[in-house]
Structures are given as structure tokens and as C-alpha cells.
Amino acid sequence: MKYADILQNKEVLEYYERGSAILDALGYTDHSVVHTKLVAKKAADILEAFQYSPEEIELAQIAGFMHDIGNAVNRHHHAEYGALLANEILKETDLSISDRVRIVSAIANHDESDGVAADPIAAALIIADKTDVRRNRVRAKDPILFDVHDRVNHAVTATKLRCGYEEKRITLYLTVDEEICTMYEYLDIFLNRMTMCSHAARIFQATFSLKVNGQKVL
């Protein structure tokens, strides 16, 4: 079972199509395969930076791509629903029970409401997911209809995640147009997510930092 296989899994893609329709109706930012492919890549980059094995990187990519399929059931508790769906799909593959459970557990624990990073796969998924802040996550609509989540994402004109193995630090760099979104609004929405990233970084014996417009915020 390879990451390339799950990218083309018809059941996974169908869940994302349905989940996207639901979140569009709710007015949420993008949680489609565009988001999940990016999360998979960032999770892989994090583990590679901290010198984890190709096998663990592959598991993180699979977890990253599958982590939001639960939105097809309901946005509330989507992490838990997604884990259950992923478990049924991955049972049909040649993954070992141990690897399957690690992926399922990471998916179940990626939401900031009650999730926790217990191993490198989960930690990489959490950091990759929570740091995906960008303008093009906002679905096309009249800016007058933007809620605070839309404004926060629309205000971010540049983003970069840097992982330093030697200095044991993970840093999210953002360029934010403060005429669109104030730092208070950003932190009101994202503080819990950044705190979750900080806890996840400890799995790598690293610290997590946030720099906005060149200034250290966290």
C-alpha cells in the first residue's frame, strides 16, 4: 500500500466530493483534495526534516491525504468519523495492523477540540493541517459575505513552514494584510490551533514559533 494508491482511491475521492459539497453549503473554507494533498506534503516534509524513515513518511502522507474524509458524514466530530471511514478503507489494503492503527489514530486526533499528538505521524499531521493558512482556501464568494475565518485566510498573502533539525524549531512565517484582518482576529481563531502545534512539536523535541510580518507572535 503506497501513498500513490490512496490518491486514486475512488471511495476516498467520493467522500471528499461529498464533504466539499457539505462544507460549501455551510460556508467553510476549502477542505478538498487541494488542502489534503498539501497537508500530506507538509507532513512528509516535517518528518523528512527530522530524519524519520521513508516508511513513516509514507504513513504520514496517507494520514494527511485521508484526514478530512469525515466531513462527508458531518463537520462536527469529523476527525472521529474520518478515522472510522479510513479504518474500513485501509482494512482492504496490505497495510499491517500496526500501521493502519497509527494512521487511524492520527486522523482521529487531528482536531484541536479534543485531539492530541501521541506519535510522530499524528504530530506531523497536526502541524501540517493547522498551518495551512492561505488566501486561496477562501471559497469564491462576495467579500461582503466573508466571516472571520474567511477574512483571516484572505488576509494571508504569503506563508512558509520551516523545520530546523539542528535548532529543534518549527516556525510558521506569515505575511498578513492587517487592513483585512487584525492580529486580534487572527489569534482569536488560530490561538488554539497554534497551541496544538506547540504541543505536537514536542514529539520532535522541538519548539513551535509563529512569526507574522517579521514579528514573533508565539
- pLDDT bin (cut points 50, 70, 90) of residue 218 is confident
CA distance 204 to 69: 27
CATH of domain 3-216: 1.10.3210.10
Q: Is the pLDDT of residue 11 over 80?
A: yes
Q: Which of 7, 127, 101, 28 shows the shortest CA–CA distance to 71? A: 28
Report H helices in the chain: 3-7, 10-26, 33-49, 54-66, 78-90, 97-108, 120-130, 148-155, 183-201
Q: Is the pLDDT of residue 165 over 70?
A: yes
CA distance 58 to 123: 14
Those residues with Cβ within 8 angstroms of residue 135's Cβ, 6 or more apart along the chain or in another chain:
153, 154, 155, 156, 157
Average pLDDT across the chain, whole number: 94
Q: Cα 21–14–19 angle (5° rounding)?
A: 30
Q: Is the pLDDT of residue 146 over 90?
A: no
Q: Quick one: residue 146, left, alpha or beta (phi over 0 = left, psi -120 to 50 = alpha)?
A: beta
pLDDT digits (tens, 9 = 90+) for 105-122: 999 999 999 999 999 999
CB 154 within 8 A of CB 146: yes
What's the confidence (pLDDT) of residue 140? Answer: 67
Q: Is the pLDDT of residue 141 over 80?
A: no
**Cell numbers for 111:** 482536531
pTM of the model: 0.95
